[in-house]
Amino acid sequence: MADFGEFWLVAAPCPMSKDEAFRTLMHNAGEFATATRFNVPDLKVGTLDALVQLSEELQKHEMFADSVVRKLAQLVSDLLAETPDAEQVPNGASEKLSENLVIGDKDPAAYLKNFNWDTARYLTKSSIPELTDTLTKHLSQIENGMKGKTSAYNQLRGNLQALERKATGNLLVRSLTDVVKKEHFVLDSEYLTTLLVVVPKASFREWESSYERITDMVVPRSSKMIAEDSEYGLFTVTVFQKIASDYKVSARERRFVVRDFAFDEASVEQGKKDRTNLETERKRQWGAMIRWGKVNFSEAFTAYAHLKAVRLFVESVLRYGLPVNFQGVLLQINKKTEKKLVDVLYRIYGYLDKSATKNDETVEVPGMHSHNQEKFHPWVMVQLGLNLLDK
């Protein structure tokens, strides 16, 4: 579960006081949405021209922040989906997705409802462009770290999957290193060699009655079945080295397939060791990735929320003018009552734009992308969709 709801950030103008502005909104809209204060500190305004330019850029930054947050949520979700067993979920994480997508001890919705500007990390004495740059750089670092870590993990997982594929399939195609043993072979002989032959189940009797006569120079009674699957059996046969190639050709004519395999005890043991090491390293990296994803989801969502706060502030200054005087309000909306909520907001704030006659009028708003037009409202509104696995 990674749907934490849908929210609107509204900048309520304050003709009297912030408390009065919040009470007015609560009184009128409380039936259709859950409202909480969303306090944004007084930021350094700078010039209006700079704010107009920044407003254009902020939407791009928001889209980037949203994509990073969603990628991290998807990463953690994908990792949890391949959990080997519950005991291996690392300390500090949980097998439940929602318990890993947290900021401190709060889920994204609770964090927004209790939002406080992080003055220690994002200094309010910095200019708004500087704050925005700090936030986006932090998000870029997280995204780059995610790319590097996922690439390394996927490479490791790919190597392990390649080994697993070799160990699966029928006896015609699968690796034989975990099937054969040293005692199945005649080793260190100057003249003899042991071949591994794949025989269809329907031909077992034919093999047993004919393998000694497929060519000359076959050791009598040297065949033994050492493995079997639903389609084939794997048999050994010992022949003189000089006729081994002829034996392979003649056996194939009878639908008996000689596998190319030379027993090397050191290689067999090394192969088993390599697979064990890969499995151990994958589990280690899996746990580290879960922890990294949880920590950096928190970091990314914090930056995302602060970018939303910056945009709310910038749009409010551009729409309402100076001095800065608005109350940020977070509305958790219900799709069923969304239209009624908009109607209520128009009744409260419609006076801010005398030309506003339609609730659904779509126009280009100064400071917004022309390719990403939004519905125009007389009040400032910033949307936050927190269905984090919804692409």
Q: Would you kindly state where each structural domain of the chain is located, as residue ranges?
A: 3-162+285-387, 182-262
pLDDT for 207: 98
The span from the CA of 280 to the CA of 311, in Å, is 46
Average pLDDT over residues 21-46: 90
Fold of the domain built from segment(s) 3-162+285-387: subunit c (vma5p) of the yeast v-atpase, domain 2 (1.20.1460)
pTM for the structure as a whole = 0.78
Rounded average pLDDT over 225-249: 96
pLDDT at position 332 over 60 = yes
Share of the chain above pLDDT 70, in %: 91
Name residue, tokens 């090397």: 264
- What pLDDT, on a 0 to 100 scale, did the predictor assign at position 243? 97
Considering only CA atoms, which of 343, 354, 259, 337 is closest in space to residue 33?
A: 337
Distance CA 323, CA 301 (A): 30
Question: Is-cis flag, bond preceding 200, omega within 30?
Answer: no
d(CA 352, CA 350): 5
φ/ψ bin of 188: left (φ > 0), alpha (ψ from -120 to 50), beta (otherwise): left
In terms of C-beta density within 10 A (0-12 exposed, 13-18 middle, 19 or more buried), how is residue 382 classed?
buried
Per residue in 186-226, pLDDT tens?
988 999 999 999 999 999 999 999 999 999 999 999 999 99
The residue that leads in pLDDT, 30 or 229, is: 229
pLDDT in tens, 339-386: 999 999 999 888 887 655 555 444 443 333 333 345 778 899 999 999
Give the separation between CA 360 and CA 337, rounded to whole angstroms.
15
Q: For residue 351, what pLDDT is reported?
A: 84
pLDDT digits (tens, 9 = 90+) for 68-109: 999 999 999 999 988 655 445 555 555 688 889 999 999 999
> What confidence score (pLDDT) does residue 362 get?
44
What is the DSSP code (8-state) at residue 90? P
Q: Give the residue-averaged pLDDT of 313-320.
A: 92
Beta-carbon neighbour count of residue 359 at 10 Å?
Answer: 14
State yes or no: pLDDT of 390 exceeds 90. Answer: no
**In the CATH scheme, what architecture does the domain 182-262 have?**
2-Layer Sandwich (3.30)
Does the pLDDT at position 233 exceed 90?
A: yes
The per-residue pLDDT for 372 is: 39
Cβ(103)–Cβ(111) below 8 Å? yes
